[in-house]
Each structure stands twice: as structure tokens, then as C-alpha cells.
């Protein structure tokens, strides 16, 4: 762990600054809407907690758990809904919040799933975008950072069952 700290890709200060900016933009764009933030567990719990505190308009917050990775670094391509949304989102303007859009498979299938509940709109907001790995047609509506094709950990993102609690994003692969 110690040796990894110098591989910080995005610092706490950079995350805080960008999250505040995106929070302001969301507050402005949704000011006349019924905003429902849907946080995808587990990866987005820290980003969601910071982002919603930068949103200045009324907002409801809910969670959904999906899984596509089996404790490794590559996606299986199968998105499983481990726990579905508990609220009725009919007529709401849903903003899905996740840690990262990588292949895009997770976000695309969650979006399609939510549309069956008749929300007024479904958009997405991510901390990180890794466009080089995209396999489906999916562009995040809001994002904080675009990163190259490297495996990153921290600030909610895991490797195995660990590192979600590290307060910044670091590059797992470099030595």
C-alpha cells in the first residue's frame, strides 16, 4: 500500500473542486425538475455522498446495487441487478451516479432497466470516464474526469474487496 501512494492520479483537492463544479451545474440544470439521484452501489457511495452535498436544490436519493466484476480487473459483460431501486420513480428526473464508465455496459443496462419504470428522464453522472475501453454507445451526461486506460483504485473504487476508503484516486498498475 505504501508504495502506491505516490501514484496518485487525482488528489482529494482536485476531486473536491470538480465535484463542487458538477454539483452546481446539476443544481442549475434541474432547478425546475423532480430530481432523483440513483447511486449505484458499491462503487459510487463516496462520490454520491460528496456530490449530493454540493447540490442546492431539493433532491431525493436512492440506491441500486449491480455487479459485473467477479473480484478482478476485467468486466464479464454481464450486469446483474443485485438490489433493485426501492422507490417509485415514475415522473422523476433520474440522475444515475456511478464511480466510472468503463466499457459502458453497466450504465447502459441500468438506464434501459430504469426506463421501464416510466421516469420523466434518465441521465447519468460519473466521477471518471475511461472512453478508450468503451464497448457500447454511451456518453456520460456529467463527468468529473476523463482518464486513460489504466486500472484505478480509491475514492469508492475497489480492487478485490479493498481500497474503497482511500480518499483519492490512484493508479493501481504503475509501480
Write out the catalytic residue numbers.
Answer: 102
54 is a site residue for ligand IMP (CB under 6 A): no
Q: Does 154 bind Mg ion (CB under 5 A)?
A: no
Q: Which stretch binds Mg ion (CB under 5 A): 13-21, 25-33, 78-86, 157-165?
A: 157-165
> How many angstroms separate the CA atoms of 136 and 7, rounded?
30
Does 104 sit near Mg ion (CB under 5 A)? no
Q: Site map for ligand IMP, 95-134, x if CB under 6 A?
A: ---xxxxxxxxx----------------------------
Instruction: Mark 29-48 with x for binding to ligand IMP (rule: CB under 6 A) and - for no binding.
Output: --------------x-----
Q: Contact residues for ligand IMP (CB under 6 A)?
A: 43, 68-69, 75, 98-106, 151-153, 157
Amino acid at each position: 500500500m505504501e508504495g502506491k501512494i505516490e501514484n496518485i492520479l487525482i488528489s482529494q483537492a482536485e476531486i473536491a473542486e470538480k465535484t463542487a463544479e458538477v454539483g452546481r451545474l446539476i443544481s442549475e440544470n434541474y432547478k425546475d425538475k423532480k430530481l432523483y439521484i440513483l447511486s449505484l452501489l458499491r462503487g459510487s457511495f463516496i462520490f454520491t455522498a460528496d456530490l449530493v452535498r454540493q447540490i442546492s436544490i431539493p433532491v431525493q436519493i436512492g440506491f441500486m446495487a449491480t455487479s459485473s466484476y467477479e473480484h478482478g480487473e476485467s468486466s464479464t459483460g454481464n450486469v446483474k441487478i443485485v438490489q433493485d431501486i426501492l422507490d417509485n420513480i415514475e415522473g422523476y428526473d433520474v440522475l444515475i451516479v456511478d464511480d466510472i464508465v468503463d466499457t459502458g455496459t453497466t450504465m447502459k443496462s441500468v438506464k434501459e432497466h430504469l426506463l421501464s419504470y416510466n421516469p420523466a428522464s434518465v441521465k447519468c453522472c460519473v466521477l471518471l470516464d475511461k472512453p478508450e475501453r468503451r464497448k457500447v454507445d454511451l456518453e456520460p451526461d456529467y463527468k468529473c474526469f476523463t482518464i486513460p486506460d489504466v486500472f484505478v483504485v480509491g475514492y469508492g473504487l475497489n480492487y478485490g474487496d479493498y481500497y474503497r476508503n482511500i480518499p483519492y484516486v490512484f493508479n493501481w498498475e504503475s509501480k
